[in-house]
A and B are shown apart, each in its own frame.
Chain A
Amino acid sequence: MGQQLRLAWRSIWRQGRRTAITVFVITFGLILIIILTTLEEGVIRSVIDSGARLQAGHVTIEHEDYRLAPSVSLSVPDAENLAAELSGLPQVQTAKLIVSGEGVARSGAGAFGVLIAGVVPELERETSPLAENIVEGEYLAPDDPKRIVIGTVLAERLRLKPGKKLVIATNDADGELVERLYRVKGIFRTGTDEVDGALIHMQLDAARDLFNLPDGSATQIGLVMKNLDRLASFLPLVEKSLGGNSDLAVHPWQTIMPGVAGYVVVERTSYLIMEGFLIAMVSFTILNTLLMSVTERKKEFATILALGGRGSNLRLQVFFEAGLIAILGILIGGVLGGAVAYYYSVNGLDLATFVPGGEVEISGISVDSTIYPMFTARLMSLICGSILVVTLVLSLIPISRVTRLSIANLLR
């Protein structure tokens, strides 16, 4: 083994220029793939997170019938206890409660359908895109039962300013028609018309009061995860901790935001196809190099076989040669590409210059124009590992040629 490795190392440097070019191609391809992947995954994660922050988190627990027929009567009665319990799971960053229902907002200027969300202001202040994008007035404070925040589009339609009043009419959990008067505390602007024209935030208790829901209840429990990569293994854990609550459903973000889920699939597929081309190009170079180096050394190999050397030794040597070239390219490319990705994952890459107005909207979710590429050990090892595997698999082609040598003919 040591012998084969030593010979492999010397052999690749016999054609130093060719090896250097091959290593460079791997390096270059790898850097492109790393940047593309980390950037795309960064965008994807940012879209999912923005959506999740706007909605009820990465994982939503609600009455199993709520999705099909959203109605406040389909609530989770002991939501508060359940949320407290779930926030104890190690994967959970925050567990929040939401009371979410539909209604009509009315002012002297007209009446428009709205989506009312009762939230815990302290939690939303830290995470919600609404709280971050208040353009007039202020976001909700913990004890503001009579105040709400609305979006710019709705404010314009209803001709409202902070401090002005509006009426919200809806059906409560018992189906009774109710009407309440609220005062606008702040106006937000996310950049997405569907959100800015319809979403209303009010305090959780105020919403329970409006919809006549009992204390401790909510229509949704939203879980924000520390690491979204763990979603698949996390879902069954949540199901388990729900235990007997058989009329509750656990939805991943894909169910809550099907538009975003579709976007993620399309986005991933398209960048993977691009990377497929890159890998094909890199593979072609590697294969070409390996085939050339095996072909021009046929006589050398035949000599070794004539002297009584084993074909397996030669195969191992060629395998090592491929591996060494790949590892060199991966080391250099991984370090350079990784450094770039890491730098931007910390400092962010502002795409505003590429986007008119500096705003990016994807699947109805406005995303910050500063992208933080997703730089994780897992992603990096996945990328580098796949290049190594591709190279080693490709090396099987020249390796198979080594074994099919006719010694006598080659030594003539």
Chain B
Amino acid sequence: MSAIVETRNLTKTFGKGDIAVHALRGVNLTINPGEFTAMAGPSGSGKSTLLNMIGCLDRPTSGEVFIEGIATQKLRPMALSDLRRDRIGFVFQSFNLIPVMTALENAEYILMLQGKPVKERRERVRDLFEQIGLGGMESRFPNQLSGGQQQRVSIARAVVAEPALVLADEPTANVDSETGMALIDLMLQLNEQRNVTFLISTHDSTVMDRAHRLIRMRDGQIDGA
């Protein structure tokens, strides 16, 4: 089976001249289906930047990103937007739930963007909520949920439309370690039961320990990949 993500000589430079920051300096990375990969590295080593490039949220300075074999640099913004919607799930450090949507509406958001009928949306989200311990929380708004519950909703949002890949940028950084552990368990469970591919950046050693694969970033490069 072909790779889900492949980056070739990826570089990203912010700013110009003296103040230029070389956030990525030639990253070659391949992620295969079903992998559960943790990405570690000191602050400022380029983890978020790399996730943004893979997630098609930003354009690289040079090099290429392939998602399921598609060369993303050739795609127009609209096509990139559709690619993100249909093939990539996002989990953010600070959850980023939409405050005016209920837990259920947040979780079904991608399905709604895809134009799936209400009934199907509700069923899929209810099943998933049941599975990940959010049963009964459907009509709560984000501010009525704990941090751990919010991150669960956001993980549900990321996986419900069965993307090829879920990118999670320090997903446990804003919760206590116990809750963080439970979130990792949840992602591992989804990886096993639903075969969701995860790429997770983290500072958290428990995440690194439990990941199937660990890559280390340093100064914009992958350390001994």
Judging by beta carbons under 8 Å apart, are A411 and B57 in contact?
yes
B84 CB to closest chain A CB, in angstroms? 4
B59 CB to closest chain A CB, in angstroms? 9
- Chain A residues with CB under 8 Å of B113's CB are 307-310
User: Quick one: closest A residue to B12, CB to CB?
Assistant: A408
Contact with A along B61-87 (1 / 0, CB 8 A): 000000000000000000001111110
CA–CA, A304 and B100, complex, Å: 12
**Number of residues on chain B facing chain A (CB within 8 A):** 23
Give the residue of B86, B99, B101 whose beta carbon is less than 8 angstroms from that of A308: B86
User: Within 8 Å of chain B (Cβ to Cβ): is A10?
Assistant: yes
Of B85, B96, B99, B157, most A-chain CB atoms within 10 Å? B96
Judging by beta carbons under 8 Å apart, are A300 and B84 in contact?
no
Judging by beta carbons under 8 Å apart, are B82 and A308 in contact?
yes
Judging by beta carbons under 8 Å apart, are B110 and A303 in contact?
no
Judging by beta carbons under 8 Å apart, are B84 and A307 in contact?
yes
Give the residue of A14, A300, A305, A411 whose beta carbon is less than 8 angstroms from that of B81: A305
CA–CA, A3 and B113, complex, Å: 11
- Chain B residues with CB under 8 Å of A299's CB are 96
Give the residue of A14, A303, A308 whose beta carbon is less than 8 angstroms from that of B85: A308
- Chain A residues with CB under 8 Å of B129's CB are none
User: Quick one: closest B residue to A308, CB to CB?
Assistant: B85
- Chain B residues with CB under 8 Å of A7's CB are 98, 100-101
Judging by beta carbons under 8 Å apart, are B110 and A308 in contact?
yes
CA–CA, A316 and B167, complex, Å: 29
User: Within 8 Å of chain A (Cβ to Cβ): is B112?
Assistant: yes
- Chain A residues with CB under 8 Å of B98's CB are 7, 300, 303-304
User: Within 8 Å of chain B (Cβ to Cβ): is A336?
Assistant: no
CA–CA, A14 and B112, complex, Å: 23
CA–CA, A310 and B99, complex, Å: 18
B193 CB to closest chain A CB, in angstroms? 23
- Chain B residues with CB under 8 Å of A10's CB are 100
Taking CB atoms and an 8 Å cut-off, the chain A residues in 54-98 that contact chain B are none
A294 CB to closest chain B CB, in angstroms? 14
A98 CB to closest chain B CB, in angstroms? 69
Give the residue of B82, B90, B112 whose beta carbon is less than 8 angstroms from that of A306: B90
Of B92, B100, B110, most A-chain CB atoms within 10 Å? B100
- Give the number of residue pairs across the A-B interface with Cβ within 8 Å: 52
User: Quick one: closest B residue to A317, CB to CB?
Assistant: B100
User: Within 8 Å of chain B (Cβ to Cβ): is A285?
Assistant: no
Judging by beta carbons under 8 Å apart, are B110 and A306 in contact?
no
Given contacts A308-B84, A309-B113, contact A408 B96 (CB under 8 A): no
User: Within 8 Å of chain A (Cβ to Cβ): is B52?
Assistant: yes
User: Within 8 Å of chain B (Cβ to Cβ): is A412?
Assistant: yes
Judging by beta carbons under 8 Å apart, are B52 and A308 in contact?
no
Judging by beta carbons under 8 Å apart, are A300 and B99 in contact?
yes
Judging by beta carbons under 8 Å apart, are A408 and B99 in contact?
no
User: Within 8 Å of chain B (Cβ to Cβ): is A158?
Assistant: no
Judging by beta carbons under 8 Å apart, are A411 and B85 in contact?
no
B98 CB to closest chain A CB, in angstroms? 6
Judging by beta carbons under 8 Å apart, are B84 and A306 in contact?
yes
CA–CA, A305 and B110, complex, Å: 11
CA–CA, A237 and B100, complex, Å: 58
Of A304, A306, A310, most B-chain CB atoms within 10 Å? A306
Contact with A along B95-109 (1 / 0, CB 8 A): 010111100000001
Of A3, A303, A308, most B-chain CB atoms within 10 Å? A308
CA–CA, A314 and B190, complex, Å: 31
B140 CB to closest chain A CB, in angstroms? 14
CA–CA, A309 and B82, complex, Å: 8
User: Within 8 Å of chain A (Cβ to Cβ): is B55?
Assistant: yes
User: Within 8 Å of chain B (Cβ to Cβ): is A128?
Assistant: no
User: Within 8 Å of chain A (Cβ to Cβ): is B185?
Assistant: no
- Chain A residues with CB under 8 Å of B120's CB are none
B160 CB to closest chain A CB, in angstroms? 11
User: Within 8 Å of chain A (Cβ to Cβ): is B48?
Assistant: yes
User: Within 8 Å of chain A (Cβ to Cβ): is B58?
Assistant: yes
- Chain B residues with CB under 8 Å of A310's CB are 81, 113
B207 CB to closest chain A CB, in angstroms? 20
B110 CB to closest chain A CB, in angstroms? 6
CA–CA, A195 and B38, complex, Å: 97
Given contacts A300-B98, A308-B84, A411-B96, contact A3 B112 (CB under 8 A): yes
B92 CB to closest chain A CB, in angstroms? 7
A307-B84, A411-B52 given. 17 additional CB < 8 A pairs?
A: A7-B100, A7-B101, A10-B100, A11-B100, A300-B99, A303-B92, A303-B96, A304-B98, A305-B81, A306-B57, A306-B84, A306-B90, A307-B110, A307-B157, A308-B82, A308-B83, A308-B113
Q: Please, could you name 7 A-B residue pairs with CB atoms under 8 Å apart, sorted by A?
A: A7-B100, A11-B100, A14-B99, A304-B98, A407-B57, A408-B57, A411-B52
By a beta-carbon cutoff of 8 Å, the part of chain A in contact with chain B is: 3, 7, 10-11, 14, 299-300, 303-310, 407-408, 411-412
